[in-house]
Amino acid sequence: MFANRKIENIEQEVMEAVSLARKQQPLLNAMVSFMEVDEAISEAKNSNGKMAGLPIVLKDNVLTKGVRTTGSVQILDNYIGAYDATITKKLKDAGAVIIGKSALDGLGMGGTGTNCHTGFVHNPYDLNRMAGGSSVGSAVLVASGAVAFAIGSDTGDSVRKPASFVGIVGVKPTYGRISRYGIIPYASSLDHVGYFTRSVEDAALALEVLAGRDDKDMTSSTREVEDYLANLNGDLRGKKIGILKNVIDAIKKDQTLALFNELIEKCVNAGATVHMINMDQTRLQACLPVYYIIANSEATANHSNLDGVRFGMQEWGDSLEELMTNSRTKGFSFLLRKRFVIGSYSLADENQDLLLRKAQKVRRLLVEDYKTALSDIDVLIAPASGDVAPLLTDTSADQLSARYLIAENHMVLGNFSGYPSMTIPMGKIDGLPIGINITAKPFEEQVMFDIALGMENLTGCKNMTAEVNV
């Protein structure tokens, strides 16, 4: 934990983090690059900030001035940031020491940690398993004990799903609560800055550092930043907790349901009331296709400038068109090229009404359903996943079945709506972590943190780290 803790020997703390991350790298492959820390250590020693001396990691889609930022794609392999992202500056101002950049699925597109330009990232609890994605490196580094805080980004569940798979806290605040200026985008209407910690208290403090209006990001909120840590209260008495029944009905694994039901029973005994919430089943089954159409369309538009001419590495051709084609073909993985094809198809004039605009309409219906579901309760909860982290070799999941669509993809509702949503550890199944997702109304992060703290106290799943034999 770093909340309410003063780091006495900053240099030792930072160098131990760097050393551990380096030792773990051959096994976990969670880092893209390490940064020089001497100057940051000196500045941290003179800082009175809320993170003074805390070693941290940024996802490698966060710009850092003068430092290589790749977005985990070959086309940006040698890109050097011209300025600091707003969150980079905020973290530096708070006294944090950035030790490096973490691996991600290319441009944030992917949920497995197997589409990284630097290779597969491994789960610290079982090196043969995935750790989710796309913010996989940041999640793994927090779970392995290398750092206590790391930045991610969440467009579908890219912070919250990895947090579940590696037994830590993953937070996606309300859309606009944290500035996205200086973040390499994926899908602008869905992208959120998120982050990882190992406790709810740390998560509350971190939002105080990161949140706030930024005139460089016109989607950022003008709301005042609350004292989330000082106001934190884990008393569950009188709290109204909704359970998304559609997700529960879709989960096959008995052990997941047993852990969830055990936690619910403890919440009731602690004074909370529980309410079963049903959403429209047919519309929920549309979550993944709606997400793919909107996200891939926006990604195609956002990254059209990565063509070897305006930005990115250049692969020569006999004409301008051939140069751009060669640069994008070599510069992007097969998965990214496939997503750009989907996006281009959806954006074509003759397809927009049938695909993109229809997906946007269904998104609005889903958000209205979500708003109704939360109207009479404080939070809506469900297991973050139906099962523990899959094996790296697992390609058997039927991703188009109705059961899979709802159990594994319901957290995208937090991105469709922009509502605050977080995952905390719920327990372990055969030694592997699994989490619970908690979503609140817009800008009610305090309510979300309070209930998360109450649940954390009940499970005892706090400050968990995996043992990595290095």
Active site residues: 59, 134, 158
HSE, CB side, 13 Å, CA atoms: give it for residue 347: 16
Q: What is the DSSP letter of 206?
A: H
CA distance 64 to 399: 36
Q: In which order are the strands placed within the sheet that holds 169-172?
A: 31-34, 97-102, 55-59, 149-154, 192-197, 169-172, 421-429, 432-440, 379-383, 240-244, 273-277
As a residue count, the chain comes to 470
Which residue type sits at 149? F
What angle in degrees, to the nearest 10, is found between the helix axes of 287-302 and 402-409? Answer: 60
Q: What's the rounded Cα separation, in Å, for the pair 192 and 174?
A: 8
Q: How far apart are CA 302 and CA 309, in angstroms?
A: 15
What are the residues whose beta carbons fall under 8 Å from the beta carbon of 153, sequence distance 6 or more?
59, 61, 62, 108, 134, 135, 159, 183, 186, 191, 192, 193, 194
Identify the helix (H) or strand (E) that includes residue 331: helix 320-331
Question: First-to-last CA distance in the chain?
Answer: 23
Q: In 3D, which of 91, 84, 32, 29 has the Cα closest to residue 56?
A: 91
Q: How far is CA 165 from CA 90, 126, 384, in A?
A: 28, 10, 9
Secondary structure (3-state) at 388:
coil
Diameter of the chain by CA atoms? 72
Dihedral over Cα of 343, 392, 152, 385: its sign: positive
- Rounded to the nearest 10 degrees, how much is the dihedral formed by the CA atoms of 364, 365, 370, 373? 150
Residue 108 is classified by DSSP as: G
CA-nearest of 220, 137, 145, 228 to 422 is: 228
